[in-house]
Amino acid sequence: MKIEEIKAREILDSRGNPTVATSCLLTDGSYATASVPSGASTGGDEAVELRDNDKGRFFGMGVLSAVSSVNDKISSVIEGMDAKDQKKIDKTLCELDSSLGKENLGANAILSVSIAVAKSQAISDELELFEYLSVKYKKIHGGKYTLPTPMFNILNGGKHAKNNVDIQETMVVPTMKKTFAEKLRAGSEVYQTLKNQLVSEGLSVGLGDEGGFAPDLRTNEDTFKEIERAISRAGYSKKGVRIAVDMAADSIYNKKTKTYHFKGEGRDLDSGRMTKLLKSWAEKYSLLSVEDGLYEKDPHWAELTKTLKPTLSIGDDLLTTNPEKIKEAANKKLAHGVIIKPNQIGTLTETLEAVRIAQKNKFKVIVSHRSGDTNDSFIADLAVAVGADFIKSGAPARSERLAKYNRLLEIEEIINERS
């Protein structure tokens, strides 16, 4: 089908900040909308999110300029194109922008169009979105799709919360051999148990950006102790429900002193001591993974990754869903896995290429939301389409987080009905 109309508008994300939503209408009447998320903790090499910087409107966070990119520049170029030719559409979008970081049109504008086109074509083909994306990815499923394991961020800190915890995300990961529905239940039960536990201890149960609780704790290590107790009290074992962390080390790194500042504990660590600290936590609490354990340009990533094993060392700000950076990281053994965030790179085609290179190099693939998100459940279908190992969508709470988990429940039902 041909693209008949592309139209964008400004909407609000889960933090109350503006973001872009774009709708695509095909000539057969197929119609879909895609909205893009926004991150608080961002890598230096992420594609550029275009903001208006008009301090008199949304404190400079408006995205009317990105909306204009779609309505006044992109639409006239891609309307009339074949919606099925995703690679050509995405290449056209990149060429129209003509910059390395998509700063001219804005990655938020470009991605909204890229995904809206894919969604509308899936509807036109009468395919579930995960099926359509799987075809684009050219993954041979043999009719057998697998569900990613959820990573629930149930205790928030760092840039995601206004508390004294430096660890940005402390997650629970149900790794038992169960259905996705049962894993979601486990995450929810641990989450609710943690809430009651914090209340009984006189601690805050206010929420961070991703729906996890954000209490002030005596030390960062107390996050693990709290969650271990919650896992046990909810009736699960340490082997059945693992703990994972996102240090988001860029946000605590001091470029002048080249040290990591733990504000909650009043101490600074160099790269060597940071690596030792993370290793001690990994061993003591059997951590499944450590994401962004060091600053993205820290030269000690290979040492960290080697030291942490068997705990997975995951790159997010380090790799920014960039195919070339993932390839380099694999060659230099900088990580064991990669976070995949479509808005870090800007188009569906580039996102799929990043996954392809990661899987070719035996990296674990973790498809992820952002801290400022919407009810768009696109990444749930993406994770199933590419056979991702894990998915991060925050706590099992708040509609913008649950939209992804609930969509995966639906996909699981669809898969089971067809088997």
How buried is 311 (Cβ within 10 angstroms: 0-12 exposed, 13-18 middle, 19+ buried)?
buried
Contacts of 72 (CB under 8 A, 6+ apart): none
From the list 183, 325, 341, 392, the catalytic residue is: 341
* Helix and strand counts by DSSP (H, E) for the chain: 14, 14
Written as one string, the DSSP assignment of 31-51 is EEEEE--B-SS--TTSPPPP-
How buried is 144 (Cβ within 10 angstroms: 0-12 exposed, 13-18 middle, 19+ buried)?
exposed
> Tokens at residue 270, please?
């160099």
Contacts of 294 (CB under 8 A, 6+ apart): 249, 271, 274, 275, 300, 301, 304, 318
Amino acid identity of residue 353, one-letter, is E
Order of strands across the sheet that contains 259-262: 253-254, 259-262, 267-269
Amino acid identity of residue 318, one-letter, is L
Alpha-helical runs (H) found in 36-154: 64-68, 75-78, 86-97, 107-124, 129-137
From the list 46, 169, 189, 210, the catalytic residue is: 210
Q: Is 79 in the active site? A: no
CB 306 within 8 A of CB 312: no
Q: Is 55 in the active site? A: no
CB 153 within 8 A of CB 191: no
Alpha-helical runs (H) found in 285-364: 301-308, 323-332, 342-345, 348-360
CB 293 within 8 A of CB 313: yes
Residues serving a catalytic function are 210, 341
